[in-house]
Amino acid sequence: MIDAVFGPFVEFAFMRRALVGCLALSLSAPPIGVFLVLRRMSLMSDAMAHAILPGAAIGFLVAGLSVPAMTAGGLVAGVAVALGAGFVARHTVLREDASLAAFYLLSLAAGVTLVSMRGSSVDLLHFLFGSVLALGDDALVLLGAVATVTLGWLAVAYRPLVIECVDPLFLRLSGRASALTHLSFLAVAVLNLVAAFQALGTLLAVGLMILPAVAARFWARDLAPLIGIAILIAAFSSVAGLLLSYHAGLPSGPAIILSAGAIYLLSMLFGRRGALIHAQAAGHLRG
pLDDT tens profile 66-86: 888 888 888 888 888 777 777
Residues 6+ apart with CB under 8 A from 145: none
Give me the domain span that covers residue 90. 2-286
Query: Does the pLDDT of residue 34 top 80, yes or no?
Result: yes
Question: Residues 271, 218: contact at Cβ < 8 Å?
Answer: yes
Report how many domains make up the chain: 1
* Average pLDDT of span 119-143: 78
Q: What local confidence, expressed as pLDDT, does residue 278 receive?
A: 64
Q: What local confidence, expressed as pLDDT, does residue 48 receive?
A: 78
Q: What local confidence, expressed as pLDDT, does residue 80 receive?
A: 82
Instruction: Quote the Cα angle for 148-184-38, to 5°.
Output: 90
pLDDT tens profile 186-204: 889 888 988 888 888 876 7
Question: Residues 52, 192: contact at Cβ < 8 Å?
Answer: no
Residues 132 and 142: their CA atoms lie apart, in Å, by 13
Query: Does the pLDDT of residue 169 top 70, yes or no?
Result: no
Query: Does the pLDDT of residue 64 top 60, yes or no?
Result: yes
Query: What percent of the chain shows pLDDT beyond 90?
Result: 33
Residues 155 and 144: their CA atoms lie apart, in Å, by 17
* Average pLDDT of span 24-39: 92
Top-confidence range, 72-86, 170-184, 238-252: 238-252
Question: Residues 61, 117: contact at Cβ < 8 Å?
Answer: yes
Query: What percent of the chain shows pLDDT beyond 70?
Result: 88
Q: What local confidence, expressed as pLDDT, does residue 173 receive?
A: 63
How many other C-beta atoms lie within 10 A of the C-beta of residue 81? 24
Residues 68 and 221: their CA atoms lie apart, in Å, by 39
Sign of the alpha-carbon torsion through 248, 251, 255, 258:
negative
Residues 218 and 93: their CA atoms lie apart, in Å, by 36
Query: Does the pLDDT of residue 255 top 80, yes or no?
Result: yes
Residue of 264, 201, 268 whose CA lies nearest to 33: 264
Residues 146 and 9: their CA atoms lie apart, in Å, by 24
Distances in Å between the alpha carbon of 98 and those of 89, 107, 111, 154, 235? 8, 14, 20, 29, 33
Q: What local confidence, expressed as pLDDT, does residue 246 receive?
A: 93
Q: What local confidence, expressed as pLDDT, does residue 221 receive?
A: 86
Give the model's confidence band at 117: pLDDT under 50 very low, under 70 low, under 90 confident, else very high: confident
CATH number of the domain at 268, please. Answer: 1.10.3470.10
Per the rule left: phi > 0, alpha: psi between -120 and 50, beta: everything else, 274 is left
The 3-state DSSP class for residue 206 equals coil
